[in-house]
Amino acid sequence: MFGQLPQQLEIGFPPSAEMGHFAVGCFPLAKQFHKSPAEIAQLIADRLKPDTVIEQVTAAGPYVNLKIDSEVLFGDLCRRIIHQDAAYGTSDAGRDKRVMVEYLAPNTNKPLHLGHLRNGALGMAVSSMFEATGHRVVKANLVNDRGVHICKSMLAWQRWGNGTTPESEGIKGDHFVGNYYVRYSRETEKDHRLEDEVQQMLQQWEAGDPQTVKLWKMMNGWVYDGFTATYRRFGLEFDVFYYESDTYKLGKDVIQQGIENKVFSTDSNGNTVFVLPEEAFGRDKSAELKKVTVLRPDGTSLYISQDIGTAILKINDHNLDYSIYVVGSEQEYHFKCLFLILEALGYAWARNCYHLSYGMVYLPEGKMKSREGKIVDADDLLTEMIKLAEAEIRQRDPEGRLSENEIKNRSEVIGVGAVKFYLLRVRPAQSINFDPAESISFDGFTGPYCQYAYARICGILEKTHWPRQADADVDYSLLGNMEELQLLQQLSRLPGELKKAVEDFNPSKIAVYIFNTAKAFNQFYNKHPVLKAENEQLVNARLGLIRATAVVLKKGLNLIGVEVLENM
C-alpha cells in the first residue's frame, strides 16, 4: 500500500479518524533533505496522486494523512480477522524457543492471598502471551513445602488439633492448616519455648524421622487439595511442579566447583561468599564491596544456594532458551545476584533469565501481613466477587429464566474475570493500592465491561445467520463513519500490542488495548444500528465488522486469562 513511500517512515494514526486513516510523520526525512518536516509533508501530498486505493492525501503540519478506500480498508482487515479467528494477532516470532514461566511459589502453611492472585494472573497472562508469539511455554510452580514455617503449622496441629481434619471440620484444607499457623503465632507470644520445639521438629524432618515426615505429608496433602481447588477456580495451570523439599539441597556441588574455580571466596566468618561488582551494587555502609553468602560455615545452604541449583535443574530438565521468574519486586536484589552468580559460574544462559518483578498489593491499612491476619484471602475475595456478579445477574433476570447452573457459570466467569482484570490492568512495576470499592466495580475500566461488549455482539450475531451471504460478497465499502473507523483502527492494533506486551513482559498493554476496543465498539453500538441498518448490504458489512470485533475481544481477553460469555 505504501510502496511508494520511503521505508524508514513509520505509519501511525492521526489523532482523529476524520483527518485520515493513516498518518505518516515526515521527521526522518527532514535531515536527509534539509527541509522542515512540514515542507516535506506538503511536497509529498502534492506529488502523491490519489488512486483506487488511496483516496486522499493531505498534508497536516509535519504529517501526511492518507484516506484509504473503504472496501480495501475494512474488507482486508475484517476478512482476515474472521478467517484467522483465534490466530489473529499471533505470530511465530518465538518459534522453537522454549521458555519456562515460574510463578506462584506458594508456601504450604497457609492459604493463598491477594498477592498470590496478582502473581498467578501475571504468570498465566505472560504464559499465554508467549505462547501466542510461538514460544513453547512450560509453566512451573516451585512449591515452598518445607522449612520452619511449615513446622509451625504442624506443631500447632499436633498440639491443639485433636486429630481433626479438613473433612471432619468441613474446612478447605489450606485454610484448615493456615488456622494452625495463626494459632502457633498466637501461642508463641505467650510461650516462647514453642520456638525451640519448632526448630526441633525441623531437625527431625531433615533427619527423615518417619513420624514427622508422615505428619508433614498429611498436612501438605490437605493444603494441596485446597490449592488445587483455588487454582482451578482462578484458572491457574502448571505443567510442572518443583518442590523445595526435593531441591533445597541442590546447588552445593556447583558452589563447590565455583570455589575451586575461584568464583567464590571465604570471608572472615567462614562463609562462602560471592563478591558483587561495585559498578552494579556500590559499596556497603563500611565502604566494603558487597557480598552475598552462598554457603554457611557449616556447609548448609541458603535460599540463593538452592536457587542456583534449581535454575540449573530447570534448564537441564526442559532444555530452556529462556527462564522467567514471576516474583515480587522485593526480591529484585536476590535475582540480580542470582543471575550474576550463574553467569560467573560460566552459564551463558544466565543472560536469558528474567525476573518479572511486580509491585506489592497494599491494603488500605498497609501491607498484607499473614501473621496478623491482615490479608485479603484469595478464596474470600473470589467468593465475594462471584457473589456480587451473581446479584447483578439475578437483578437482570427478574423473571428467573436462567437456570441455577447458568447463573453459577456466569457469576464465576464475571467475578473471576473482574479480579484478574483489576490485577492486570496496571503495569507490573506499579504497586497496587487495593481499593475494595473499586476492585468490585463492574463499570468502566473493568473485565466485565469488556466481557459485556463481547456478549452484546454475540447477542446480535445470534439473531442472524452470519454470513448472510458469502463473505467475499460483503460490500465493505459501505462502512466509513467515524465510529466504524475508530473501531476498525482498534482492531488493526492487536498484533502490535501483543508484540509490545511480550517485549515488555507487560500484560497490562493487552488489558488497556481490550478496554479501548470494547469502548470503541460500545460507541459504535450506541450510535449505529447493525441489524436495522438502512439496507441489507450495510447490515452485512456491519455484521462483518462486529464479527471481527468479537474475535479480537475474545482473543485479547483470553490472552490475559479472562473468559468470555455469549450472554450476560
Stretch of 8-16, 47-55, 78-86, 547-555 contacting RNA, by CB under 7 A: 8-16
The site map against RNA for 108-147 (x = CB under 7 A) is: ------------------------------------x--x
The site map against RNA for 12-51 (x = CB under 7 A) is: xxxxx--x---x-x-x--x------x--------------
- 461-500 positions binding RNA, by CB under 7 A: 463, 500
Q: In whole angstroms, what is the distance from residue 99 CA to residue 93 CA?
A: 13
Classify each residue of 472-496 as buried b or exposed e, where b means 16 or more C-beta atoms within 10 Å of its C-beta. eebbbebbbeebbbbbbbbbbbbee
Q: In whole angstroms, what is the distance from residue 2 CA to residue 32 CA?
A: 20
Our CA angle for 104, 106, 111, nearest 5°, is 120
367 contacts RNA (rule: CB under 7 A)? yes
φ/ψ (deg, to 5) at 296 = -75, 165
- 509-548 positions binding RNA, by CB under 7 A: 509, 512, 515, 519, 522-523, 525-532
155 contacts RNA (rule: CB under 7 A)? no
Q: Of 229 and 302, which CB lies nearer to RNA in the complex structure?
A: 302
- 255-284 positions binding RNA, by CB under 7 A: 267, 269, 271, 273, 280-284
Q: In whole angstroms, what is the distance from residue 423 CA to residue 153 CA?
A: 30
Q: Of 137 and 342, which CB lies nearer to RNA in the complex structure?
A: 342
> For cell 533427619, what's the residue?
207
Within 10 Å of residue 535's Cβ, how many Cβ atoms?
9
CB contact at 8 A, 263 and 274: yes
User: Of 51, 167, 237, 438, which one interacts with RNA (CB under 7 A)?
Assistant: 438
Q: Is 187 exposed, middle or buried (0-12, 13-18, 19+ CB in 10 A)?
A: middle
User: Of 302, 313, 340, 344, which one interacts with RNA (CB under 7 A)?
Assistant: 302
11 contacts RNA (rule: CB under 7 A)? no
Q: Which of 105, 99, 109, 149 is nearest to 243 (CA)?
A: 105
Q: How far is the CB of 167 from RNA (least distance, A)?
A: 29
CB contact at 8 A, 194 and 188: yes
- 189-218 positions binding RNA, by CB under 7 A: none
Q: Of 374 and 463, which CB lies nearer to RNA in the complex structure?
A: 463
Give the number of residues in contact with RNA, rule: CB under 7 A.
99
Strands (E), 296-333: 322-328
- 311-350 positions binding RNA, by CB under 7 A: 329-334
Q: Of 473 and 503, which CB lies nearer to RNA in the complex structure?
A: 503
Q: Of 179 and 451, which CB lies nearer to RNA in the complex structure?
A: 451
Q: In the chain, helix, strand, coil percent, each to 5?
A: 55, 15, 30
User: Of 291, 314, 420, 547, which one interacts with RNA (CB under 7 A)?
Assistant: 291
Q: Of 161 and 524, which CB lies nearer to RNA in the complex structure?
A: 524
455 contacts RNA (rule: CB under 7 A)? yes
Give the cell for residue 93: 516470532
Q: How far is the CB of 523 from RNA (least distance, A)?
A: 4
